[in-house]
Structure 1
Amino acid sequence: MNRRHFLLTATGFSLAMTVPAIAHNGDETIPGFDEAAASGIPVLVHVTAPWCEVCQAQKPIVAKLVGNGDFAKMKKFDVDFDSQKEILKRYRVQMQSTMIIFKDGKEIDRQVGETEPSVIEAFLRKAL
């Protein structure tokens, strides 16, 4: 019994060592993201799903803010939660309705599930 347990444990360990923790090849980028981030402009990545009620509530709030007024220079990138799984892995996103902001190419904050316009606006201001 000990020998069988040892073999199973050893096999499991060797398999675990051959599989990377995050299985993506690094090529799964959001088109235009790298250029925008490198340019130093504030960037928002918004992960949504068409069936997500929270996402649908966020969209008009974000649309009203991004590209207007203080947020005129902010660039927004939409990521589909259902079809862009490799991008979700790259940015370590686990839920739809996730918003990630970047400043000078670095992630500075993220929030999930927020639908209060004033809170979303305050969140986006962190990237200015």
Structure 2
Amino acid sequence: MISRRRLAVSAFLFASAILYSAAPARAAEQSFTPQAFAAAQTAGKSIIVHVYAPWCPTCRAQEPAVQRVEADPKYVDVAMFRVDFDSQKSALRTLKANRQSTIIVFKGDKEVGRSVGMTDPGEISALLSKAL
């Protein structure tokens, strides 16, 4: 005999699996590589670059706003890159990013927005919306 609790848990897990598999694709930050960045620019894609350091409190404060954008279906076609401030120095030179917590928005090969140290979620969202 199946208990009510076991039946309820099974139903919940089944429903969760169905909802998860039906969820729309979402944009996700990928590690910056010069090749992937150049390919996105050549394709004329909108691009968001987040220069991040795990030890940086400002970067961590920016993270919730960046994650909301990643989850928003209207950004699914935007290429999102994360540059590791500590280990990707050549990328920092290419992007002319001197500090961690820098967010840069491109449309193709044209830069359309940049911020350094911005933590206000509304301002971050406004900046990132320039990619659309």
- TM-score computed with the length of structure 2 as normaliser: 0.70
> Match for 1:81: what amino acid?
F
On the 8 A contact 1:66/1:75 being kept in 2, the answer is: no
Equivalence for 1:60: 64
Residue segments in structure 1 that go unaligned for 5+ positions in a row? 1-27
- CA deviation after TM superposition for structure 1 residue 105, in Å: 2.0
Equivalence for 1:111: 115
Match of 1:44 among 41, 48, 53: 48
CA RMSD of aligned residues (A): 1.7
Q: Secondary structure at the match of 1:126?
A: helix
On the 8 A contact 1:67/1:73 being kept in 2, the answer is: no
- TM-score computed with the length of structure 1 as normaliser: 0.72
How many pairs are equivalent?
A: 101
| 1:35 aligned onto 2:47 | no
- CA deviation after TM superposition for structure 1 residue 69, in Å: 3.0
Structure 2 CA distance for aligned equivalents of residues 122 and 61 of structure 1:
10
Equivalence for 1:94: 98
Residue segments in structure 2 that go unaligned for 5+ positions in a row? 1-31
Q: Which runs of 4+ in 1 moved over 2 A?
A: 28-31
Taking only the aligned residue pairs, the percentage that are identical comes to 44
Structure 1 CA distance for aligned equivalents of residues 76 and 93 of structure 2:
29
- CA deviation after TM superposition for structure 1 residue 31, in Å: 4.1
On the 8 A contact 1:66/1:72 being kept in 2, the answer is: yes
More helix by share: 2
Structure 2 CA distance for aligned equivalents of residues 36 and 68 of structure 1:
20
On the 8 A contact 2:40/2:108 being kept in 1, the answer is: no
On the 8 A contact 1:30/1:77 being kept in 2, the answer is: no
